Structure 1
Amino acid sequence: MKNEKAFNEQVLREKGVSLVLFFAEWCGPSSLLMPTISSISDIFKNKVKVFRVDVEKFPSLKVRQDIKSVPIVVIYKDGEEMEKLPGPFPESTYIEKLNKHLSDS
């Protein structure tokens, strides 16, 4: 994510399902989650928008989105927060959650 305006336009104002990983460079679990998020992006190509937000670069976004710890994955649908998944989970958990939100369309 290049800036907060992009977050607002691409996540909060867009229709559809988005997955956002809030992370920090210094956080080991965040680094461990990166390959999983890349895989999710490939699996759900053209179905789910996937973004990464470094909370150190965007502290006000961290506050506005009520991010208390990293890593945390937040799923949005039509700009509305649907679910927060704190900490790394197996890839299958993210797949299951995204499929649920996609099928609720």
Structure 2
Amino acid sequence: MTARAVTDATFDQEVLKSDKTVLVDFWAEWCGPCRAVSPILDQIATEHSDKLEIVKVNVDENPQLAMKYQITSIPAMKVYQGGEVVKTVIGAKPKPALEADLAAYLA
């Protein structure tokens, strides 16, 4: 399962109004660490699709979202529940570290 792309236009509906917990991966094409963490997030999305939805926002294509959520370094992952940010993870990490950071949302 590959994380779906969301945009300025679809963010409200697909993230803020979702009844599931949603992790948003803020990334860019030119970002090496972003490309490194992407397959790890895809694995987590596949293994935990019943508990956590993972979507991607390209910060170059959606600068309004990057500004609104104060994305100053990427990759930045934000977990949303009920339209609110409940967790922020900055930087690429190996899968066990990411799963530990997200444990509360994967259980």
Please give the TM-score of this superposition, normalised by the length of structure 2: 0.86
- 44, 47, 53: which is aligned to 1:43? 47
Structure-2 separation of matches of 1:2 and 1:20: 9
Structure 1 unmatched runs, 5+? none
Structure-1 separation of matches of 2:97 and 2:78: 13
Please show how residues 1-105 of structure 1 align to structure 2 within 5 Å: 1-101=5-105
Query: What is the CA distance between 1:77 and its match in structure 2?
Result: 1.2
1:21-73 Cα deviation digits (max 9, x unpaired): 10010011111111101101111112211101110000111001111111111
Structure-2 separation of matches of 1:95 and 1:70: 18
- Supply the RMSD in Å over aligned alpha carbons: 1.5
Query: Aligned residues: percent identity?
Result: 28
Query: What is the CA distance between 1:95 and its match in structure 2?
Result: 2.1
Q: Which has the higher helix share?
A: 1
Structure 2 unmatched runs, 5+? none
Please give the TM-score of this superposition, normalised by the length of structure 1: 0.88
